[in-house]
Chain A
Amino acid sequence: QQQVKQSPQSLIVQKGGISIINCAYENTAFDYFPWYQQFPGKGPALLIAIRPDVSEKKEGRFTISFNKSAKQFSLHIMDSQPGDSATYFCAASKGAGNMLTFGGGTRLMVKP
């Protein structure tokens, strides 16, 4: 049973467009929601993270929108660039242990 569901599995966007990846979670005890970016041959790296006391967080071209009542959160990549082509994972965790539960991943391709 996957506690964090991510969609779509793959996404193709034109350069300059907006990429949107959605995640839904089930466990209301989750209190930390990071997004990780993974390039081929590399391990995932933290991109941006949010806690449930805010509804939105923006860092440069990357924005997380968080809807606590719907138990959903999403990543928006504005002005998408070919260098953004990677696999993106949403995740969630609770408590001090920092054990992350990951979504299934989205493979993003940004076409020049």
Chain B
Amino acid sequence: DVKVTQSSRYLVKRTGEKVFLECVQDMDHENMFWYRQDPGLGLRLIYFSYDVKMKEKGDIPEGYSVSREKKERFSLILESASTNQTSMYLCASSYSGNTEAFFGQGTRLTVV
């Protein structure tokens, strides 16, 4: 079974803190993604990585950065957390091409 594991299920952080969300996949997938899920808006792509150290901005990259130093690990960084970044964050991975994306269980982040 493919596993995409996100390091935390729930996080509460203060405004202005630097926040790290970690994601690990065990299927040797080339592609990794970070999405944000908000009610009524579906999932919106924050960043995408197609290889180690490679990244592309998604639809809503402002306020976020990413790091992929190893193929299996993809980190999302909130440089200075703000209350409008309170959301559910989902990591996903897939092989290259239009194939099934596998999602982690999500991290519910609350910024107070």
On A, residues with C-beta under 8 Å from B are 2, 4, 6, 9, 31-32, 34, 36, 41-46, 49, 51, 89, 91, 93-105
Interface pair A105/B42, CB less than 8 Å apart: yes
On B, residues with C-beta under 8 Å from A are 4, 31, 33, 35, 39-45, 48, 50, 56, 58-59, 90, 92, 94, 96-106
Q: Return the contact of A103 from the options B33, B35, B42, B103 (Cβ within 8 A).
A: B42
Interface pair A42/B101, CB less than 8 Å apart: no
Whole-angstrom CA separation of A45 from B58 in the bound complex = 21
Give me 22 A-to-B residue pairs in the complex whose CB atoms sit less than 8 angstroms apart, sorted by A's number: A2-B41, A2-B42, A4-B42, A9-B40, A34-B101, A42-B105, A43-B92, A43-B103, A43-B105, A46-B100, A97-B50, A97-B56, A97-B96, A98-B31, A98-B99, A99-B33, A99-B45, A100-B33, A101-B45, A102-B43, A103-B42, A104-B41
Interface pair A93/B103, CB less than 8 Å apart: no
Q: Which of B42, B50, B105 is most buried by chain A, counting CB atoms within 10 A of its CB? A: B42
The residues of B that contact A42 with a CB separation of less than 8 Å are 105-106
Interface pair B44/A43, CB less than 8 Å apart: no
Whole-angstrom CA separation of A77 from B7 in the bound complex = 34
Given contacts A4-B42, A98-B96, 11 further A-B contacts (CB under 8 A): A9-B40, A31-B98, A32-B98, A42-B105, A42-B106, A43-B4, A45-B102, A91-B43, A99-B58, A100-B43, A102-B43
Whole-angstrom CA separation of A42 from B103 in the bound complex = 9
B36 to chain A, nearest CB (A): 11
A60 to chain B, nearest CB (A): 17
The residues of B that contact A96 with a CB separation of less than 8 Å are 96-98
